[in-house]
Amino acid sequence: MTRVAAVALLVVVAVAVFGGTAAARADPRHPHFATQASAAGLTGAEARALQHRVDRYLARLGGTQVGINRIDLAGGATLRLVVPGRGPAAPEVSPSGVIGPAPCRPHHFCVYAHEDYAGDRLDLYQCGVLHYLLFAGYGSYRNNQAPGTVPRYYSHDRLLSYSGIPGRVAARKQSWTFIEWVRPCG
């Protein structure tokens, strides 16, 4: 079987498993996302709902979808979306579809959409880059960067609002109301 035929067969199977045009729309360039969703045990409705959320983020922020719940953004950032039916944390879905915890990695600054490190997570890992903070209201963060590394928070007009606490600290509840941009370090 040729590679093209194998990919076409996988797309047909994905459409059959996930139903209708929504699944086909989600996978035309990346049929392996359907495989990940199936291996992760997502229903067709869950996979479509997750893809719809990914599509909304992509339209708003740009970036490249690199997994069923992961978007690589420009400037050293990754957005991890909560997998439907898997609790409030933003787990990692491996290429084989295995779902597991995705802690804030060393030398990263992680911003969560909700309090208590829950909800979609923006994972920042490149110093000197100003990142749009796409969450509003109350969320949380983990600063897992090197000791002494200070994140800086900026208002909607990109003026420095305040500097965070240096080093490895976390806040279970952080207001993002007046914060629209963050520079994790540098």
Which pLDDT score is estimated for 37? 84
Give per-10-residue mean pLDDT for the chain (186 aa): 34 33 40 80 89 93 91 92 74 63 84 91 91 91 89 92 84 90 88
Distance CA 134, CA 179 (A): 10
Instruction: Quote the strand ranges of the chain, DSSP E.
Output: 64-67, 70-73, 77-80, 92-93, 99-100, 109-114, 118-124, 131-132, 138-143, 152-154, 160-163, 169-175, 181-183
Distance CA 172, CA 110 (A): 12
Distance of alpha carbon 180 from its chain centroid, rounded? 17
Q: Whole-model pTM?
A: 0.76
Which pLDDT score is estimated for 181? 93
Which pLDDT score is estimated for 52? 93
**Six-digit token pair at 181?**
């941009």
